[in-house]
Amino acid sequence: MTETYSTQILKDEAATVHAAEVLATQLKPGQVIYLHGDLGAGKTTLVRGILHALGHVGKVKSPTYTIVEPYILPLASCYHFDLYRFQDAEEWEAAGFRDYFNSNSICLVEWPERAEQVLPHADIEIRFDILPHGRVLHITSQHPLALEELCQ
């Protein structure tokens, strides 16, 4: 059952960062967040904003080649996946990726459609649509989320 659905226009990168800050207040250990959207849609920008809001200081690089980057933060161990180059379901087990998904972690997953046979289900799904100037952000959650501040 879908508990929360939000759709919002983000007019520029600052609006994406603001959305990240609002979303970060709603995250809890154990959650899995899928991020959908084309190349350059804003997935990493949103994850960067979430990680900074959760206390990470410093760079957040796109894990395009490493597949996953860990961030050990006060709220939870956060794992930022980019599965764009992920090909082989056997790699999932061999690399121990399954262990990253546990009750103490928050997993933020770009390109989840590349590993749908092995990925745990999402608690929150985020989709970006690209507009000529800006983005549309869609958020769907299995749990209630307080996202009123997104509109401010």
Ligand X SMILES: Nc1ncnc2c1ncn2[C@@H]1O[C@H](COP(=O)(O)OP(=O)(O)OP(=O)(O)O)[C@@H](O)[C@H]1O
Neighbouring residues of 69: CB distance < 8 A, sequence distance ≥ 6: 60, 61, 63, 79, 80
Listed ranges 10-18, 26-34, 49-57, 141-149: which one lies at the site for ligand X (CB under 6 A): 10-18
| 69 in contact with ligand X (CB under 6 A) | no
Among 24, 41, 67, 78, binds ligand X (CB under 6 A): 41
CA-based nearest residue to 56, from 79, 33, 40: 79
Neighbouring residues of 115: CB distance < 8 A, sequence distance ≥ 6: 83, 86, 89, 92
**Nearest 5°: phi and psi at 147?**
-120, 20
Query: Choosing among Mg ion, ligand X, none, which partner's interface includes residue 31 (Cβ < 5 to 8 Å by kind)?
Result: none
Among 16, 44, 105, 141, binds Mg ion (CB under 5 A): 44
Listed ranges 5-13, 72-80, 114-122, 139-147: which one lies at the site for ligand X (CB under 6 A): 5-13
| 43 in contact with Mg ion (CB under 5 A) | yes
On whether the CB atoms of residues 144 and 2 are closer than 8 A, the answer is: no
- Structure token digits, residue 69: 């980057």
Q: Residues 119-148: x/- map of binding to Mg ion (CB under 5 A)?
A: ------------------------------
Distance between CA atoms of residues 117 and 132, nearest Å: 33
| 113 in contact with ligand X (CB under 6 A) | no
* Binding-site ranges for Mg ion (CB under 5 A): 43-44, 62, 110
